[in-house]
């Protein structure tokens, strides 16, 4: 076992990362003055992992939605489901699948060891049969149809479909009714045995625990498993977008919009520093303290539902502006005009310092919440960085560096997705 301790004198915090011989990484931050604990057992396996090879073997393709399907099924076992066990301990438990990871989690204020035992047991004990898979297909099929009618979900995925020709990020995380119909118990076991190998997994914990005790307990509970190498097939994604506009009608009171800029990346994913720079830039363009935000709210073009996101992951990156407006096309034009203005005139240095201080303060506040700390660990485990790097980047990043990212706003790669109110 390799154990490292990371410290931040500025924050007065430290955490431990232990890497077991089988490759599993364990992140633990002790917060002895807190009453609760938050824990995540995750794998670097998400909806975009639909074509892969094992130990340099042949590539195999699997149906879209299988990572999410596997997440649902893993809670079941021959001796009852994990949710029933957690209900007896009083812990909150949940799970989620994203584009590049699947996570199983619990939070509790007592019986931590018992709750951790449940987590370690069911994530390492798959139980699939043809009958239970068929039953789950009906359940997830209903979930897919529900999201098909969700305006917020549709406005995002319609934008992604406009941006991406081939990358699976454009496909709903749950797949389609047709794709999940192709899933069987054998495929689930094949994906489980590939992506739920400890070398591809991580455990993240923050709260009232002892690091050494937790790491020892986990080390003794991980089942023996041969280390493997997973090769994900690189997607041939053109630099161009598919189309620049799409609209759909759904029962909404006010139109929803998503203005997106497809970013061309020449590596697996943007670095932490790049992400911080772009997020600062978004606040400068149309954050709550920006001139553009004030202008658009005063004009009644946007409201407090408006938000921005630097949407990144393995092999994809996009900048999103989302909200609701009676004039979505005008909002898009106003944002584009503001980006051009800032490119020509620059950004006020005082506004930059204010936004930077605000981001610095928000980052420090995250360490007052064990849920936030654990999810920071999850991001660090997937993208392989030290969570204290964020505060260090914010300390020394410059306005010129942030301004250099205005070049990613290329109108030839901009798309607008709109959900209009359904007539009658």
d(CA 388, CA 410): 32
Q: What pLDDT does residue 168 have?
A: 96
**326 exposure class (CB count in 10 Å sphere: 0-12, 13-18, 19+):** exposed
Please give the average per-residue pLDDT across 270-295, as a whole number.
96
Rounded to whole angstroms, the maximal C-alpha distance in the chain is: 66
Query: Which is more confident, 225 or 391?
Result: 391
Q: Long-range CB contacts (< 8 A, 24+ apart) of 398-403? A: 399/347, 399/349, 399/352, 401/277, 402/277, 402/280, 402/281, 402/284, 402/347, 402/352, 403/281, 403/342, 403/346, 403/347
Residues 82-95 pLDDT 10s? 999 999 999 999 99
Which active-site residues does the annotation give?
71
Is residue 79 very low, low, confident or very high in pLDDT (cuts 50, 70, 90)?
Answer: confident
Please give the average per-residue pLDDT across 302-326, as a whole number.
96
17 three-class SS: strand
Q: Which residue bears the tokens 């989620």?
A: 96
What SS3 string covers 174-221? CCCHHHHCCCCHHHHHHHHHHHCCHHHEEEEEEECCCHHHHHHHHHHH
Q: Long-range CB contacts (< 8 A, 24+ apart) of 139-145? A: 139/72, 140/65, 140/68, 140/69, 140/72, 140/174, 140/175, 140/180, 141/177, 141/180, 143/174, 144/65, 144/172, 144/174, 144/175, 144/176, 144/177, 144/180, 145/177
pLDDT at 267 over 80: no
Under 8 Å CB-to-CB from 337, ≥6 apart: which residues?
A: none
Please give the average per-residue pLDDT across 102-113, as a whole number.
97
Residues 208-266 pLDDT 10s? 999 999 999 999 999 988 888 999 999 999 999 999 999 999 999 999 999 999 998 87
Please give the average per-residue pLDDT across 158-169, as a whole number.
97
Q: What pLDDT does residue 110 have?
A: 96
Question: Which of 32-41, 44-53, 219-228 is the least confident region?
Answer: 219-228
Q: What pLDDT does residue 76 have?
A: 87
d(CA 138, CA 118): 27
Q: What pLDDT does residue 424 have?
A: 65
CB 108 within 8 Å of CB 37: yes
DSSP β-ladder status, 13-19 and 25-30 = antiparallel
**pLDDT averaged over the chain?**
95
CB 230 within 8 Å of CB 100: no
Residues 368-388 pLDDT 10s? 999 999 999 999 999 999 999
Is residue 201 very low, low, confident or very high in pLDDT (cuts 50, 70, 90)?
Answer: very high
pLDDT at 295 over 90: yes
Please give the average per-residue pLDDT across 411-422, as a whole number.
96
d(CA 195, CA 2): 22
């Amino acid at each position: 076992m390799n154990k490292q301790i990371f410290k931040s004198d500025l924050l007065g915090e430290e955490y431990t990362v232990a890497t077991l011989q089988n490759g599993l990484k364990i992140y633990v931050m002790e917060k002895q003055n807190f009453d609760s604990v938050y824990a995540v057992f995750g794998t670097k396996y998400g909806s975009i992992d639909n074509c892969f090879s094992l130990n340099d073997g042949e590539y195999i393709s699997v149906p879209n939605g299988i990572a999410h399907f596997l997440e649902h099924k893993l809670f079941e076992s021959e001796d009852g489901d994990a949710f029933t066990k957690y209900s007896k301990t009083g812990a909150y438990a949940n799970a989620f699948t994203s584009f590049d990871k699947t996570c199983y989690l619990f939070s509790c204020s007592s019986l931590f060891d018992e709750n951790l035992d449940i987590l370690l047991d069911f994530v390492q004990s798959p139980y699939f049969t043809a009958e239970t898979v068929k039953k789950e297909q009906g359940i997830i099929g209903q979930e897919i149809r529900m999201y098909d009618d969700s305006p917020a979900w549709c406005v995002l995925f319609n934008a992604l479909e406009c941006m991406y020709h081939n990358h699976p990020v454009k496909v709903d995380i749950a797949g389609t009714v047709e794709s999940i119909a192709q899933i069987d118990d054998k495929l689930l076991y094949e994906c489980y045995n590939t992506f739920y190998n400890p070398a591809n997994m991580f455990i993240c914990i923050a709260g009232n625990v002892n690091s050494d005790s937790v790491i020892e307990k986990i080390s003794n509970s991980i089942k023996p498993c041969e280390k493997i190498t997973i090769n994900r097939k690189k997607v041939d994604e053109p630099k161009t977008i598919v189309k620049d506009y799409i609209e759909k009608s759904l029962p909404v009171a006010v139109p929803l919009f998503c203005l997106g800029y497809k970013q061309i990346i020449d590596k697996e994913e943007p670095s932490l520093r790049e992400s911080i720079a772009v997020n600062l830039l978004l606040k400068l363009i149309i954050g709550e303290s920006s001139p553009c935000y004030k202008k658009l709210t005063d004009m009644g073009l946007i409201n407090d539902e408006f938000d921005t996101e630097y949407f990144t992951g393995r092999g994809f990156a996009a900048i999103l502006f989302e909200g609701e407006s009676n004039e979505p096309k005008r909002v898009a034009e106003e944002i584009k005009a503001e980006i051009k203005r800032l490119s020509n005139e620059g950004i006020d240095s005082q506004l930059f310092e204010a936004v930077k201080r605000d981001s610095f303060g928000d980052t420090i506040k995250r360490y007052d919440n064990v849920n936030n700390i654990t999810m920071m660990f999850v991001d660090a485990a997937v993208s392989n960085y030290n969570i204290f790097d964020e505060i260090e980047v914010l300390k020394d990043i410059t306005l010129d560096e942030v301004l250099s990212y205005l070049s990613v706003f290329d109108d030839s790669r901009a798309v607008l997705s709109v959900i209009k109110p359904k007539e009658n």
